[in-house]
Structure 1
Amino acid sequence: MTDLKGGAVSGYDAVMMPVNQHPATAASKDIDEFRIRAMSGDELPLALEWAAREGWNPGLHDAVCFYAADPGGFLVGELAGEPIGCISAVKYGSEFGFIGLYIVRPEFRGRGFGIQLWRAAMERLAGRNVGLDGVVAQQANYARSGFRLAYRNVRYQGRVGEDAEESELPPGVVAASTMPLAAVATYDRAIFPAPRDAFLKTWLEQPDAGGFAAVNGGRLQGYVVVRRCREGWKMGPLAADDPSTARRLYEAAAKHAGAGATLFLDVPEANAAAPRFAAELGMTPAFETARMYTGDPPVVDLAKLFGVTSFELG
């Protein structure tokens, strides 16, 4: 991944080897001893620890939530029984999938293991429209694997004002826990290509997180989740009918994070109002990803999406 000035952001460039090539330096004996299998829920924290070392700043409880999305969707590569790399290939419904957490330990890069993980992930998602948030510099390589650019997602960073205080929620905003999960899941289907109810339940209920919903006359107008990460708090998804509703949800999430907290919001540029929204909050761009799909971009209401759920799971 690159920052907006073109420099490398720690970790993202390093793990993304060209997906259409088998490195000439690969040792056939090593490849013969390399095995790929599904991770168990107890093993998934290892992948998140690798992600943290790469500077990806995962949430403190992402492992449990991610695993709920698709228990078979997280692959580990082992060399002589030692875990050396991972990738996620999460299935949603019967037609959509998402690639993420593509990591090979630094000392094992450039030896052909990454391409093996990539092929296993794509095989698992064969026949589906597959999405990813990819390193900008690797767009051409993903294109050779059939991915096409849809739009950019830009991570914005800001801080909660020191004058923020724990107080009543903004007008029309309630704790998401007071809403039926089915109502939140129905709204989520406007901004995500497939049902993900099991994931949403765990995402909303994770420790430390704040989940909030905007309601008017009993009708859900949006929702947000803010979760604690290794550094600061990430807000996502942030979905709302309009910018003013998104602003009230943001204020509720910011209060939950607390005065002085660092906030991150991954903004889809395909919603023209979203970058303006982030800028008006005093947030500034940090880096970007390329949202790409193997098929046509899924039909979702991007005008309602102000913050992506996660770069790992879409």
Structure 2
Amino acid sequence: MEQEQDGYRIRVMSRAELDRAVDWARDEGWNPGLHDAGAFHAVDPGGFLVGLLDGEPIASISVVRYPGHEGPGNFGFLGFYIVRPEARGRGYGWRLWQAGLRRLEGRTVGLDGVVAQQENYRRSGFALAHRNIRFGGSAPRGTIGGTSLVDARHIPFDELLALDGALFPAPRAGFLANWIALPGAVALAAVDGDALRGFGVIRPCHEGFKVGPLYAADAAVARDLLLGLAAAVGEEEGETPLFLDVPECNGPAVELARELGLTPQFETARMYLGLAPVLDTARLFGITTFELG
């Protein structure tokens, strides 16, 4: 990590400091999950950096290394890039950004960038892959169609992992195992006999609930999963805000969100530094999380 200079120092966060970074994300309006931090930290405990000015934390970034399919890891994800408002415009964020990218050197790096920062990311070599749109509104209610939905934790874990591996650039068994077991979360799988047709998780956030990931063979399966997840949180219609982060390149996913009464809240851009992975976005109806991909 960077040596102290002008009273500013960069180092790895403690687990408690990650809780603070999640609070900062809440202040920024990103609405993180209530229990995200533990699952995030377990992926790569050294992948969360804090910038301190005269000993006080003023900036954060996550630069998580995911394991590779063969040998050493080759994919990383950047998130939690926040500088406290009172410390902005003084170069502290840029120094933290550079330290973070050094940690991910040699890897393809993904991020979901807010509009205000996208041009800065381009200048650092990131290229747009697709936009994501956060849809939100009252939790949709409706009749589930012909899809058979079961508790995803009763599905062989290797099957969930294989589906996740087809729709995310790196294997993440530890993360996924934690994610489906978060306090207050519900994980559902769509099955047809022995075939896994989809999978989704809904978890409590500071405001309402967020669905992610939402994987489905087609829009009909995605609709049933989304309705099943919304029903599983057990709230009355109109009282529960629900959010879903949709890749704009999946047209049926955008249409589904609108059909169920959700409206755009804000957008991000999925961008990559290095060779962009090839993913089957036609089955990707909801991003897992903007912070870790």
* SS of structure 1 residue aligned to 2:79: strand
2:30 corresponding residue in structure 1: 56
Q: Does 1:103 align with 2:78?
A: no
Compared CA separation, residues 171 and 272, structure 1 to 2 (3 A): closer
Matches within 5 A, 1:254-265: 254-257=230-233, 258-259=235-236, 260-265=239-244
Partner-residue secondary structure (3-state), 1:152: strand
Distance 1:286 1:171 in 2: 29
SS at match of 1:278: helix
Q: Is 1:193 equivalent to 2:169 in the alignment?
A: yes
TM-score (ref. length: structure 2):
0.92
The answer to whether residue 251 in structure 2 is matched with residue 279 in structure 1 is no
One-letter amino acid matched to 1:254: A
- SS of the residue corresponding to residue 42 of structure 1 reads helix
Report the CA distance between 1:81 and its aligned residue.
1.8
Q: Would you say 1:242 and 2:218 are equivalent positions?
A: yes
CA contact (8 A) 1:170 1:251 kept: no
Q: How many residues align?
A: 282
How far has the Cα of 1:291 moved from its partner? Answer: 1.0
One-letter amino acid of the counterpart of residue 50, structure 2: V
CA distance in 1, matches of 2:10, 2:162: 36
| 1:31 Cα deviation from its structure 2 partner | 4.2
Counterpart secondary structure, 2:81: strand
Shift of 1:228: 0.4
Aligned partners of 1:188 and 1:92: how far apart in 2? 14
Cα offset for 1:97? 0.8
Q: For the Cα contact (< 8 Å) 1:131–1:294, is it kept in 2?
A: yes
Asked if 1:81 is matched to 2:58, the reply is no
Q: Could you tell which deviates more after superposition, 145-154 or 129-138?
A: 129-138
Q: Please point out which of 137, 152, 159 is paired with 1:176.
A: 152
After TM superposition, give the deviation of residue 80 of structure 1 in Å: 2.1
* TM-score after normalising by structure 1: 0.86
**Offset from partner CA, 1:255-299 (integer Å, 9 cap, x none):** 122223110000001112111111111111111011111123211
- What does 1:268-307 align with in structure 2 at a 5 Å threshold? 268-307=247-286
| Dislocated runs of 4+, deviation >6 Å | none
Q: Percent identity among equivalent residues? A: 55
Tell me the equivalent position of 1:160: 139
Inter-partner Cα distance in structure 2 for 1:53 and 1:269:
26
Shift of 1:43: 2.3
- Tell me, in whole angstroms, the C-alpha distance in 2 between the residues paired with 1:189 and 1:294: 20
Q: Are residues 1:203 and 2:179 paired? A: yes
Cα distance between partner residues in 1 of 2:156 and 2:264:
35
CA contact (8 A) 2:147 2:221 kept: no
Query: What's 1:142 paired with?
Result: 121
Q: Contact between 1:225 and 1:236, CA under 8 Å: does it hold in 2?
A: yes
Separation in 2 of the partners of 1:207 and 1:170?
29
Aligned residue in 2 for 1:40:
14
Structure 1: runs of 5 or more not aligned: 1-29
What letter is aligned with 1:234?
A: K
Counterpart-to-counterpart distance in 2, 1:73 and 1:313: 11
